[in-house]
């Protein structure tokens, strides 16, 4: 059952289907969060973005968004606990992940819907958000359906972050999930495969070389 927003919904004939609604996005990828920002703000929503569970909890302690969009793999833990807490407080949660295997755990935690990254349909994503927030599913303007242009600077930042994670002694599961999600978002099958194999030293070295190649290719941008 859809959750109504705290305030009245915008007029059904509004050219901005999410006008006046607020969204908190918990997403550690700058590339993915920039795409979310463009999609949602073009539809009229107000967006705040954080990249950790700790920051998300601090935001939720001080204000109530109309919708929480939560990634599952985050630097300081899994998103399911945040989903459960938000859902218990009556905040609708849309879970997103580059790992489709996370669907069951997200829905079990209390998410009202799950979307794979990259979003298979921008219009479908916006219609789902509108449905969750207002209980209605109006037509979405054609310009809102267009995928936002890729941001090479954001992509470079994410690749550099991944390279630093490989060189560090961080959690192998988070590293694999972060790079796999990024690779799926940009349609880079070799990078996704390398992320899956980055569970041992040989796999991490192979991933490190591939990330270095991707960063070198972006240098002229």
The helices-and-strands tally (H runs, E runs) of the chain is 10, 7
Give the pLDDT confidence of 36-67 residue by residue, as tens digits.
888 888 888 999 999 999 999 999 999 899 99
Residue 135 placed within a domain:
yes
Cβ pair 71, 96 in contact under 8 A: yes
Strand partners, 23: 47, 67
Residue 26 placed within a domain:
yes
Expressed as residue numbers, the domain containing 157 is 152-218
Query: Does pLDDT of 138 surpass 80?
Result: no
**What gap in Å lies between CA 17 and CA 35, rounded to an integer?**
18
DSSP character string of 14-58: -SSTTTT-EEEEE-S-HHHHHHHHHHHHHTT-EEEEE-SHHHHHH
The count of domains in the chain is: 2
Query: Does pLDDT of 207 surpass 70?
Result: yes
Q: Rounded to two decimals, what is the model's pTM?
A: 0.82
Average pLDDT over residues 125-153: 65
Average pLDDT over residues 69-86: 94
Residue 9 placed within a domain:
no
pLDDT score of 156 = 93
Query: Does pLDDT of 177 surpass 70?
Result: yes
Tell me, what CATH number does 101's domain have?
3.40.50.2300
């Amino acid at each position: 059952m859809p959750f109504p927003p705290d305030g009245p919904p915008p007029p059904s004939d509004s050219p901005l289907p999410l006008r006046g609604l607020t969204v908190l996005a918990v997403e550690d990828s700058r590339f993915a969060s920039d795409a979310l920002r463009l999609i949602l703000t073009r539809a009229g929503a107000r967006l705040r973005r954080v990249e950790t569970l700790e920051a998300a909890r601090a935001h939720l302690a001080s204000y109530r968004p109309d919708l929480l969009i939560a990634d599952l793999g985050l630097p300081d833990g899994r998103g399911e606990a945040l989903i459960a807490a938000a859902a218990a407080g009556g905040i609708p949660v849309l879970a997103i992940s580059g790992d489709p295997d996370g669907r069951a755990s997200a829905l079990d935690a209390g998410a009202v819907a799950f979307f794979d990254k990259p979003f298979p349909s921008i219009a479908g994503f916006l219609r789902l958000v509108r449905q969750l927030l207002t209980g209605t599913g109006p037509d979405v303007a054609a310009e809102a359906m267009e995928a936002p242009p890729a941001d090479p600077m954001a992509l470079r930042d994410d690749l550099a972050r991944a390279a630093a994670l490989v060189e560090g002694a961080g959690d192998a599961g988070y590293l694999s999930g972060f790079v796999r999600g990024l690779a799926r978002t940009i349609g880079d099958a070799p990078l996704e495969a390398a992320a899956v194999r980055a569970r041992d030293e040989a796999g991490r070295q192979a991933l490190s070389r591939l990330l270095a190649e991707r960063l070198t290719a972006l240098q002229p941008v």
